[in-house]
Amino acid sequence: MAGVTEKGLVLVVEDERPIADLIRLYLQRDGYGVQVEQDGNAGLAAARRLRPVACVLDIALPGLDGTEICRRLRADDIWVPIIFLTARDDEVDRIVGLELGADDYLTKPFSPRELVARLKAVLRRSGAAPEPDRSRTVGTVRLDPSRREVTADGRSIHLTSTEFDLLAHLMSRPGRVYTRDELLSTVWGYAAHGGTRTVDVHVAQVRAKLGEAAGILRTVRGVGYTADA
């Protein structure tokens, strides 16, 4: 196993050795420790054992595929940030991965520099310094930025770091309509070429978790989303 640096260990599960070596090189250059596994079963075991700061998972893997690794980690209540790699621009793959709780995805071939940038953005969201106590309430949903906690109708709601930041941004100015491009740029940290479908899938996931309180999230057809009581 590569030595763990102060930036932490990133688990890369990728069965194509040249791609895995390239990812390792760029992550190590940026100061991360890297553990590479080449099949899904070994990847799942490593994620459970090592508790990395983030996982980069290929979707198509020998043994367990990347989406199954993600599903099992989330079922174990392990919410490590996950970035998926997919060999084709297949919307089904991307949506399934995001619905399972992944934070982002990249389509092969990809720039290793972009992967490092996406990883940094995900880690910023998951490890962001607590904000001052500026709790926000819209309808029966209360969001506490300092604790990164959400309750709806008195229930505690478990959100991924990306889902939390999406909801927090929408609730920061109730009634203000945000376009998908704005949300993608602000919450995910990259431009619209990343695909605004990502926003739609995450909004759907937040709504599903909020249950009966999900009515605070309103779709403005042809524009985007707003949070309003």
For strands 33-37 and 9-13, give the pairing.
Answer: parallel
- What percentage of the chain has pLDDT greater than the value 70? 87
| pTM metric for this prediction | 0.64
pLDDT band per the 50, 70, 90 thresholds, residue 167? very high
**What's the pLDDT score for residue 190?**
61
In CATH, the number for domain 136-227 is 1.10.10.10
In CATH, the number for domain 9-126 is 3.40.50.2300
**What's the pLDDT score for residue 54?**
93
Using the structure block, give the residue that is written with the tokens 């042809």.
222
Length of the chain: 229
- Domain extent listing, the chain: 9-126, 136-227
Question: What number is the average pLDDT over the span 26-41?
Answer: 93
Do 79 and 100 contact (CB within 8 A), yes or no?
no
Domains 9-126 and 136-227 in one fold: no
Dist. CA 163–CA 148, nearest whole Å: 11
pLDDT digits (tens, 9 = 90+) for 63-116: 999 999 999 998 888 889 999 998 766 666 667 777 778 888 888 889 999 999
Dist. CA 173–CA 138, nearest whole Å: 10
